[in-house]
Amino acid sequence: MSRPLVIVESPAKAKTISKFLGTAFDVRASVGHVADLPSKGLSIDVDNGFKPTYELTDRGKQVVKDLKVLMKDASELYLATDEDREGEAISWHLLEYLKPKVPVKRMVFHEITKSAIEHAVNNPRGLDYGLVDAAETRRLLDRLYGYEVSPVLWRRVNRGLSAGRVQSPSIRLIVERERERIAFVTAGYWDIELLTATRPSFTAALVLLDGTKVAAGKDFTPDGRAKKNVVVVDEARARAVAAAFATAEFSVRSVEEKPYRSTPKAPFMTSTLQQEGGRKLRLSASQVMRVAQGLYERGYITYMRTDNVVLSAEALAAVRSEVGKTYGAKFLSSGPRQYSSKIKNAQEAHEAIRPSTPLRSPDALAGELNGQELSLYRMIWQRTLASQMADASGTTVSVRLGAVTTVAGTPTDAEFAASGTTITFPGYRQVYVESVDESDASDDEREALLPPLTVGAVIPVASLTPNGHSTSPPARYTEASLIKRLEELGIGRPSTWASIIQTVQVDGRPMPNSSNRLISDASV
DNA sequence: CAGTGAGCGAGCTTCCGCTTGACTT
């Protein structure tokens, strides 16, 4: 029986779509690109309009051979590759190699649900040659740049080295960071920690001496000099001030209350999943992708290579219903939250990375998944649910304590600061809190639980402790922070970030003694 | 005369992005 042949990129996707379309359609996978420039030689005729020579890849040969057999019985051909630059190119190559004699339609969809697939079948379009040209241009530029510049490295640095549009700027980032670290001049400074004898007690940090800001880490330039209008406290002064104020009477100078409000993060896309997988689960980017691939292939999550944070309408409804059921209506955001990718050049061919529907909780899957799979799935589950939950809210209280006393014969005014946030309604934080790279975390904004305080009240002091500190250079990139930076710069794609990490490391392995932070000795 | 070694030439390395198994270790 003659039936339409539908070609998608991923075999797992073919299986799912086949279920929606039934036996009236034959759904197959191209398994990615089927054709490419040969790896040997430039294969671009630079003197004749940059005409490329393509050839089928090893797997492409088999794929095209099989598809050609199926084409003999096909009534129509639906090219259903991803609706992005590379997907359009794959469809174009399929067309070139299959040379179909039956009607050809290009069908596109951005979520894999029955209604989306049926809509796509009923609303086909033609091939978008603008996108095909864009993909080809991208491919040719990468080849020209990579294959022309790499030999310079073989001659001048070492055989086998390589340069490229993505790897060279990646190395540059790492090298620039390392140079910043080498050029960094450490500065020392002291501060004083005041511990109150209130109930509960809290700590406050010295912030002003005679009205001048006391220098903390942020107040030094990378060459070790203090910025303007701050006073750098050295050890002797810190000890003298702490000793002198030990018997001083501190009172509350100001109490400032501000409402605290925090909004959940968008659902995962590839880059954010890799970053959180690194920070929360201590997995490398490639480990995250391997585990996610397994979850995807067995139908637990949606596609894991995506630059989109949007949930399908069906998923949105399921997530909101799940939140309401598990946490109550109070924990649901007032209306559906719509997120959009802030990433430039986002192509958004797929949905966000989320649990597939019907939703199954991590606890329900504990018997089916191994440890890593379960923890990654749980993280995806929590982030997805949290994205449709209410804001967390509360109050942030900032308090200033002050006293005047004589230090070495001079009357001196010292002011200490503390702040604390009380969360009165956890909202999404009940489920998921994003972690931050340690280098981004601020260390001088300690959060404390504060007792009720009124201006003018005398605060008993338990102790004043001088502490020495020194400034530290900017941290080396981790896999997570490098991927974040690359994405901000529009370098690389969801399918390549994990492998970039391997490429820029010596022998593709982490450097020894670098606590898994990335440094590189290449010099592109 | 036989063995050595200088000198020459040819072939190799490489890009990025899309997808999974098929391979070792």
Which pLDDT tens digit goes with each residue over A28-84? 999 999 999 999 999 999 999 999 999 999 999 999 999 999 999 999 999 999 999
Residue with tokens 């559906």: A336
- Residue A414's pLDDT is 97
A138 CA: nearest nucleotide by C1': B16
Question: How far does the CA of A370 sit from the C1' of B21, in Å?
Answer: 21
CB A416 within 8 A of CB A401: yes
> A434 falls in which pLDDT band (50, 70, 90)?
confident
- Residue A198's pLDDT is 93
Question: How far is the CA of A331 from the CAs of A319, A425, A435, in angstroms?
Answer: 12, 9, 21
Q: How far apart are CA A343 and CA A86, in angstroms?
A: 18
Asked if residue A289 has pLDDT above 50, the reply is yes
Sketch out chain A's domains with CATH numbers: 3-135 (3.40.50.140), 145-183+475-523 (1.10.460.10), 188-263+392-470 (2.70.20.10), 270-386 (1.10.290.10)
Single out the residue of A439, A351, A358, A420 nearest to residue A387, CA to CA.
A351
Question: How far does the CA of A235 sit from the C1' of B2, in Å?
Answer: 84
A141 CA: nearest nucleotide by C1': B15
CB A467 within 8 A of CB A191: yes
> A275 falls in which pLDDT band (50, 70, 90)?
very high
- Residue A59's pLDDT is 95
Q: Enumerate the active-site residues of A.
A: 303
Contacts of A189 (CB under 8 A, 6+ apart): A215, A216, A217, A220, A226, A232, A233, A234, A468, A469, A470, A471
Asked if residue A512 has pLDDT above 50, the reply is no
Which has more confidence, A149 or A518? Answer: A149
Q: What percent of chain A has pLDDT over 70?
A: 94
- Residue A518's pLDDT is 64
Q: Are strands A458-459 and A250-262 parallel, antiparallel or unpaired?
A: antiparallel
* Range from A5-19, A298-312, A443-457 carrying the lowest mean pLDDT: A443-457
CB A295 within 8 A of CB A377: yes
> A444 falls in which pLDDT band (50, 70, 90)?
very low
Which nucleotides in chain B lie less than 7 Å from some protein C-beta?
12-21
- Residue A509's pLDDT is 45
- Residue A346's pLDDT is 87
Q: How far apart are CA A127 and CA A114, in angstroms?
A: 23
Share the mean pLDDT of chain A: 93
Question: How far does the CA of A154 sit from the C1' of B25, in Å?
Answer: 30
CB A410 within 8 A of CB A375: no
- Residue A517's pLDDT is 62
Contacts of A6 (CB under 8 A, 6+ apart): A14, A17, A21, A25, A26, A27, A28, A78, A80, A107
Helix (H, G, I), strand (E, B) or coil at A104: strand
> A172 falls in which pLDDT band (50, 70, 90)?
very high
Could you report the per-residue pLDDT of A236-247, keeping only the tens digit for each?
Answer: 999 999 999 999
* Range from A108-117, A182-191, A442-451 carrying the lowest mean pLDDT: A442-451
Q: How far apart are CA A248 and CA A419, in angstroms?
A: 22
Q: How far apart are CA A485 and CA A482, in angstroms?
A: 5
Q: What is the C-alpha end-to-end distance of chain A, expressed in Å?
A: 58
- Residue A344's pLDDT is 74
Question: How far does the CA of A120 sit from the C1' of B6, in Å?
Answer: 71
* DSSP-assigned letter for residue A507: G
pTM for the structure as a whole: 0.89
Asked if residue A507 has pLDDT above 80, the reply is no
A303 CA: nearest nucleotide by C1': B19
- Residue A447's pLDDT is 62
